[in-house]
Chain A
Amino acid sequence: MMTMNRILAGAAVALGLATGAFADGHEKTKVGFVYVGPVGDGGWTYEHDQGRLAVEEHFGDAVETVYVESVPEGPDAERVMTQMALGGADLIFTTSFGYMDQTINVAGKFPDVKFEHATGFKQADNVSVYSARFYEGRAVQGHIAGQMTESNIIGYIASFPIPEVIRGINSAYLHAKEVNPDVEFKIVWAYTWFDPAKEAEAATVLIEQGADVILQHTDSTAPQAAAQAAGNVVTFGQASDMAEFAPFPRVSSIIDNWAPYYIARTQAVIDGTWESTSTWDGIAPGMVGIGEITDAVPAEVKASAEAMVESMRSGEYHPFTGPINKQDGSVWLSDGEVADDGTLAGMNFYVEGLTGDIPQ
């Protein structure tokens, strides 16, 4: 105890002399980001960080950004957020579903700090929620995947059984089935957003089970690499373009583009016009992007996929348009009926044709 104290005390003196005063002017607007994965994951967190960098570039010296990566979804997240708020952050983006309760808790303690929680559903006076309609991108993936598969088995690496992920599975399946009635989905639940080893293993298992298309709802490029190693397996970039695996196995991608939203929200804080909102944007406003469809995809498939993107952009087509039955055969949407956002936000059922159960 003595030794330790003396060392720490000695170090304190030495460091104090070396660094001098730490002046915190705090005139800039400070924006914090809490990430669930490493910024170099090449997927989800990478794109959020691109958004952060875009904010820095857009505002220059007027804004300072800070981030903490790989923050577990639990008490650690609450501490990181608190620490950012204490450190003078004016606006904090918490970029994972699992930060929901923590965001609400910390926001309650710092009424003057604005919070933005990605993919959640709990709002407060100083907590907005935002997400992207990734299911629109999933529809395009399903459309291409259904026509690319020869074994008629599509592997799906799912992360957690939350509505966000289930929506993606349903959307991809409906549109694969539409173009290929024999298609079958094999789903592996990885219970992680980012774990290259687990993701690679899941991909390998699916390939061994005959899947020749792999869709992923996890954030690393490991499944891409596994598919590349296996040879004749098609993949899609997830969250980020993952263009390093193009033109094959990666034939297209869903790209999250957070930059415009982050810039707009930061601007709102600077202007003092920030309000608690719920944002759910898709292809049309540009929050969801479809990465280049490579030449590995037959020209007519590519053309029809691009037409589909355009019809969603114009608002003409909604991926969940009836008739659609639930897995148990009961009617969900009648002919021509379009799903409402409330049901989509809480989606906890498979559509007809998918096999297996959602883990309960």
Chain B
Amino acid sequence: MQGDNISYVRTKMLPEATPPVSQQGIVKWVRENLFSSWLNAILTVASIAAVYYVLSGFLPWAISPTWSGTSLANCRDILSEAGRVDDHGTHGACWGVIRDRWEQLMFGFYPNDSYWRPTTALVLFLISILPVLFTSLPRKLLIGTAVAPLILFWLIWGGSLWTPITVGVGFVLGAAAFKIGSDRSGLIVAVLASLLVTILFWLFLSGPIATVLGKVIPIYLEPVRSKDIGGFMLAVIIGLAGIVLSLPLGILLALGRSSDMWIVNKLSTGFIEVIRGVPLIVWLFTASLLLNYFLPPGTTFDLMLRVIIMVTLFSAAYIAEVVRGGLAALAKGQYEAADSLGLDYWKSMRLVVLPQALKISIPGIVNTFIGLFKDTTLVMFIGLFDPLGLISAIRATTDWNGVYWELYVFIAIVFFIFCYSMGRYSLYLERKLRREHR
């Protein structure tokens, strides 16, 4: 360029202009995020309309001054005093039923003065699984985890403390027999010996010992029958017991399914597929209708225990699939490394493969638990008082006959809180595992 049009060259920077209104602040955000295209704009408007529609139906009903209502009729009086009447009668929720019965929805018919027991049990449980969930804690704490179920059982069902303790001693004796047996002779002998010792101890010794000790040092909690356990407590107990008890069986099944032994493999596969192929509700009906037919005449044990057994078998099949996923995800080199060290099958599983595979499986196990926890609502169809089952019981009293939505909404919210927080935890675990694997 020549010097004569130098005047067109700017020598001084212009001050920075502010971006146009449409390109800054909230307007820009709205434009880019909500109305970037026609389709997007339509979606935005439709979404907002949907949210408005739902909330405008729900909120006026839910915001209702009936917390102090003592019966459905009383609620209706309160509402009509507040002037909330339309052509169809009073309009508004009757929250009094929640105030009146929320303890029942939480604990079922558990004795009022013993609510601290299930609460303590839950806290204790959470503490005892910390060493499992957070691997940074010292491994010695796992002993506490192993002992916890017995204490939890005692806290919830009550009775003499010595009963669970002698049961625990049975396990310890069995473990000792296994150790001695495996040192002296082989694995099979050890397994047989430990089973024999444990069962003999439980059959003939644990009862008398517990009775004697109970007389000498009585540590005793008021026994509570399983029939009195209900509400969310029932759901939590069935869900947790199902998962915890099914873990050993699930791991065995997973090992069986990935085993080379043809018969063991096919048996495990068959069991898993049969259990998974049939809906839980059919299994629950089986537990309540048929299980007694398949046991020796005269054996009766309570429905809750039967349900726990069924749920354990059910979730074992699911856990097995989760663990199998963990086993498959493990690099082949790990198996080969264990083999090359000369470890036998059980040692290589116990020391090398399972610790890693189980760690990968924890998010899956938590998800299985969430599913199981939600599925415990099905026990209402066989006459147990889970939260949904309690609805019909609550409605059968003359005070609350006719209440409908309030209880469902309450139960849905509680379930959401439980499941959502557990789901978040499992997500956190997955992310953490992914980081560690990098």
Bind each other: no
Report which B residues bind A (CB closer than 8 A). none
